[in-house]
């Protein structure tokens, strides 16, 4: 290998990736952080304004609302996706005709364009054109009809429903990959000890799949902080920013209001929150592992 590893060869092979990646990803993060300390409206030069933007984030009512909405989606998703994803993986794991087809179908929502996911759910949830309210009306349950989206309360809960619909197949596939690594002998041993199906799941599968749970939970955390497209389609964050998620709020502030400096401060804060959340989770898990 030595005589092919001339400096010139190495240079030619690494530089294209390096340049394009450094400019668009690494430098971009630096540029974003730089603008977060400035006031910039797109005209003239960006004016340095210290930590002003960060102070403003802290006092921004709409930021806290968007954070609360994102928190609601996060908590609901952690509950529903880990539980249902795990249960579904256990059902899919059984050797049975038609299982592969079911798995492929349940997975399919995660591959279609997230903008289209938004459009589809408009026709289900929208109070005017959506079928959910129409069905309730036809069933004579007018009292149950709601402003599912576009109202002041329910939007984030509906985001969680859509996120569940989109991610379940994907996350249960991750679970399935983890479950298939558990050696069959352990189940056989448990069976000899007289464990029933439920006991086997609780005492064998769950503890053996701990790493997989960790991966899934991290994916949910990072995934929820990327929820964007279907929110812009369903509510555009309205009315009056009440149903924004953190990402849509920073996007609207930056690109619709043209407050580039403040928008970058929001984006930076969101980025740091995501890193901290996943890092805290990582640390807790590592501690627990060491205890055992």
Partner 1 sequence: MTNSAGSKLGRRISGIVLAIFTLIWMFPLVWMFFMSFKTNSEIYAAPLSLPQHLNLDNFARALETLNIGRMYVNTLIVAVLSVGLGFLVTFLSSYALCRMVFRNKKLQRGLLRFFQLGLMISPFILLFPIYRITVQGNLYNSIWSLVLPYIATQVSFNTLLMYNFFKGLPAEIEEAALIDGCNLPQLLGRLILPMTKPVVVTVIVFNVLYVWNEYPIASVLLRDESMYTLSMGASMFKGAYSVDNAGIIAASVLIIVPELIFYGFLQRYIVDGMVAGAVKG
Alpha helices in the chain (DSSP H): 7-21, 27-36, 52-59, 61-93, 99-107, 114-125, 131-138, 155-179, 184-192, 197-200, 206-208, 210-224, 229-234, 246-251, 260-291
Cα separation, 147 vs 154, whole angstroms = 7
Stretch that binds partner 1, among 64-72, 149-157, 271-279, 281-289 (CB under 8 A): 271-279
Measure the CA–CA gap between 250 and 271, rounded to whole angstroms. 11
Stretch near partner 1 under the rule CB under 8 A, chosen from 71-79, 142-150, 164-172, 282-290 = 164-172
Contact of 89 with 179, CB cutoff 8 Å: yes
**55 vs 197, beta carbon nearer partner 1:** 197
Instruction: Kindly state the smallest distance separating residue 191's Cβ from partner 1, in Å.
Output: 6
Indicate whether 54 belongs to the interface with partner 1 (CB under 8 A): no
Q: Does 23 bind partner 1 (CB under 8 A)?
A: yes
Q: CB 267 → partner 1: shortest distance, Å?
A: 5
Q: Which residue has the tokens 């403040």?
A: 262
Q: Counting contacts by CB under 8 A, is residue 102 touching partner 1? A: yes
Q: Which is nearer to partner 1, 192 or 291 (CB)?
A: 192
Binding mask 121-140 for partner 1 (x = CB under 8 A): xxxx----x-x--xx-----
Q: How far is CA 52 from CA 35, 39, 58, 260, 261, in A?
A: 12, 9, 10, 14, 10
Question: Count residues contacting partner 1 (CB under 8 A)?
Answer: 96
For position 146 contacting partner 1 by CB under 8 A, the verdict is no
Using the minimum distance from each CB to partner 1, give the nearer residue, 144 or 255. 255
Question: Is 79 or 91 the residue whose CB approaches partner 1 more closely?
Answer: 91
Which of 232, 243 has the CB closer to partner 1?
A: 232
Is residue 93 within the footprint of partner 1 (CB under 8 A)? yes
171 versus 291: smaller Cβ distance to partner 1? 171
Nearest by Cα to 217 from 102, 93, 81, 105: 81
Contacts of 6 (CB under 8 A, 6+ apart): none
Q: Does 10 bind partner 1 (CB under 8 A)?
A: yes
Measured distance CA(60)–CA(175) in Å, rounded: 39
Query: Contacts with partner 1 in 167-196 (CB under 8 A)?
Result: 168-170, 173-174, 177, 184, 187-188, 191, 196
By C-alpha distance, which of 117, 125, 121 is closest to 146?
125
Residue among 83, 275, 280, 284 that touches partner 1 (CB under 8 A): 275
Residue 94 within binding range of partner 1, rule CB under 8 A: yes
Establish if 92 lies at the interface with partner 1 (CB under 8 A): yes
Distance of closest approach, residue 231 Cβ to partner 1, in angstroms: 12
Asked if 18 touches partner 1 (CB under 8 A), the answer is yes
Per-residue CA distances from 222 to 51, 85, 216, 226, 249 (Å)? 26, 17, 10, 7, 17
């Amino acid at each position: 290998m030595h005589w092919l590893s001339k400096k010139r060869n190495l240079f030619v092979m690494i530089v294209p990736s390096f340049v394009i990646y450094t400019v668009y990803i690494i430098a971009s993060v630096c540029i974003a952080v730089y603008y977060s300390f400035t006031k910039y409206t797109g005209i003239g030069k960006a004016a340095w304004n210290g930590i002003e933007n960060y102070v403003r984030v802290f006092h921004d009512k709409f930021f806290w609302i968007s954070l609360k909405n994102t928190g609601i989606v996060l908590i609901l998703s952690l509950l529903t996706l880990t539980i249902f994803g795990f249960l579904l993986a256990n059902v899919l794991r059984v050797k049975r005709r038609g299982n592969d087809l079911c798995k492929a179908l349940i997975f399919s929502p995660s591959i279609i364009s997230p903008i289209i996911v938004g459009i589809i759910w408009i026709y289900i949830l929208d109070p005017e054109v959506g079928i959910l309210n129409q069905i309730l009306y036809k069933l004579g349950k007018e009292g149950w009809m709601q402003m599912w989206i576009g109202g002041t309360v329910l939007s984030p809960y509906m985001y969680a429903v859509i996120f569940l619909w989109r991610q379940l197949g994907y996350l249960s596939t991750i679970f399935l990959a983890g479950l298939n690594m558990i050696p069959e002998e352990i189940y056989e041993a448990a069976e000899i000890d007289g464990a029933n199906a439920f006991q086997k799941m609780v005492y064998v599968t769950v503890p053996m799949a701990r790493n997989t749970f960790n991966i899934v939970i991290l994916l949910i955390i990072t995934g929820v902080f990327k929820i964007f497209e279907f929110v812009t389609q369903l509510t555009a964050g309205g009315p009056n920013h009440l149903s924004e998620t953190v990402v849509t709020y920073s996007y609207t502030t930056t690109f619709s209001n043209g407050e580039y400096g403040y928008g970058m401060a929001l984006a930076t804060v969101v980025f740091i929150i995501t890193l901290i959340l996943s890092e805290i989770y990582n640390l807790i898990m590592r501690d627990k592992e060491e205890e055992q």
